[in-house]
Amino acid sequence: MKRIVPIAVLWAAVAIPALGCERPSAPTSIPDGASASKEDMLAAKRAVDAFKSGMEEYLACEKSGAKKDGATAELLKVADRFNAQVKAFKAKS
C-alpha cells in the first residue's frame, strides 16, 4: 500500500502538466480572397488570430522540441495561406 501512494502521486504530477498542453486545431477553411466578402475575410481573420493565440499558449506549455517544431510549421503554413488570400482580397478591390 505504501508503494501505491508514491506511484499515484508521481503519475498525477506527470499527467497534469501533459493534459494542460492541448494543441489547437487549425481553422478548417480560409475563404478564397478573390471572391470572398469582407465579412468572410474578417471571420477568417478572427479564426486565424484565435488559432495563433492558442498555438502560442501550446508552444509555451509543450516541452518536446519535435512537437514544438511541428506546431510552429503548422502555424506558419496557416499564416501563409491566410496572407495569400488577404493579398488576393486586396487585389480585387
State the pLDDT confidence band at 22, using cuts at 50, 70 and 90: very high
**Amino acid letter, 14:** V
Q: What pLDDT was estimated at residue 41?
A: 98
Query: Is 17 a residue whose pLDDT tops 90?
Result: no
What per-residue string of b and e applies to 54-78 under the rule 16 or more CB within 10 Å gives b? bbeebeeebeeeeeeeebeebbeeb
How far is residue 4's CA from residue 88's CA, in Å, rounded to a whole number? 61
Q: Where do we find the cell 488559432?
A: 51
Residue-wise pLDDT for 60-81, tens only, equals 999 999 999 999 999 999 999 9
How far is residue 49's CA from residue 22's CA, in Å, rounded to a whole number? 17
The number of residues making up the chain comes to 93
Residue-wise pLDDT for 24-42, tens only, equals 999 999 999 999 999 999 9
The domain limits of the chain are 4-92
All 3 cell numbers of residue 69?
A: 517544431
